[in-house]
């Protein structure tokens, strides 16, 4: 479920953004080089560079979606929220029941979960902060899902799908920002 929802959420959110500033477009174009090179020559770049591109791809649409929330169709908003909730549930199940301890809970993970819970509670107090809370939750859940995929088998199909979706989302953001 994680290997389907994380790449799908990346692509869907990149397609849903109504307005993309030119600086985001240029940055996305530069970052798109990383997954492209990694797909063509897997040993050419350090894995940390791929993680940087993947995490930026998770952050960009989250930020862009909150900057213009009124331009997103209601059906896309519902689909995005559903995907994030399902992805969060799948991540929780994975962390709890994972046979390997490669992605076990650490004190930092618990602090992040606590911080997100506090953000949801106190962010709901002020009406204007709801979009920011949603973006932070969206980005955090998506980055955790991506980390589970990247942290898995380095030659696995899930990782390649994530690389292709990262490249696709970055190219979509780059091209839509130019147009």
Burial group, residue 40, by CB count within 10 angstroms (0-12, 13-18, 19+): exposed
How far is Cα 174 from Cα 96, in angstroms, rounded to an integer?
37
For the stretch 18-32, pLDDT in tens is 788 889 899 999 999
Domain boundaries, the chain: 2-178
**95 touches 101 (CB < 8 A):** no
Which pLDDT score is estimated for 27? 92
Of the listed ranges 1-15, 99-113, 116-130, the least confidently predicted one is 99-113
Which pLDDT score is estimated for 25? 92
**38 touches 50 (CB < 8 A):** yes
Alpha helices, H only, 68-156:
74-97, 107-123, 130-151
How far is Cα 66 from Cα 82, in angstroms, rounded to an integer?
17
For the stretch 120-156, pLDDT in tens is 666 666 666 777 777 888 888 898 898 888 887 555 7
How far is Cα 167 from Cα 147, in angstroms, rounded to an integer?
16
Residue 173 pLDDT level (bands cut at 50, 70, 90): very high
More confident residue, 51 or 107: 51
């Amino acid at each position: 479920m994680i290997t389907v929802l994380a790449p799908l959420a990346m692509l869907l959110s990149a397609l849903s953004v109504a307005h993309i500033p030119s600086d985001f477009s240029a940055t996305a174009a530069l970052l798109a080089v990383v997954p492209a090179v990694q797909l063509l020559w897997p040993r050419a770049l350090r894995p940390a560079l791929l993680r940087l591109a993947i995490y930026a791809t998770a952050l960009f649409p989250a930020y862009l979606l909150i900057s213009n929330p009124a331009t997103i169709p209601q059906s896309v908003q519902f689909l995005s929220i559903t995907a994030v909730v399902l992805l969060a549930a799948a991540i929780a199940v994975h962390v709890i029941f994972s046979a390997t301890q490669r992605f076990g809970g650490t004190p930092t993970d618990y602090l992040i979960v606590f911080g997100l819970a506090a953000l949801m509670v106190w962010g709901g107090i002020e009406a204007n902060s709801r979009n920011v809370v949603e973006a932070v939750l969206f980005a955090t859940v998506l980055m955790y899902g991506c980390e589970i995929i990247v942290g898995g088998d380095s030659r696995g199909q899930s990782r390649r799908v994530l690389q292709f979706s990262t490249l696709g989302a970055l190219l979509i953001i780059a091209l839509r920002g130019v147009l």
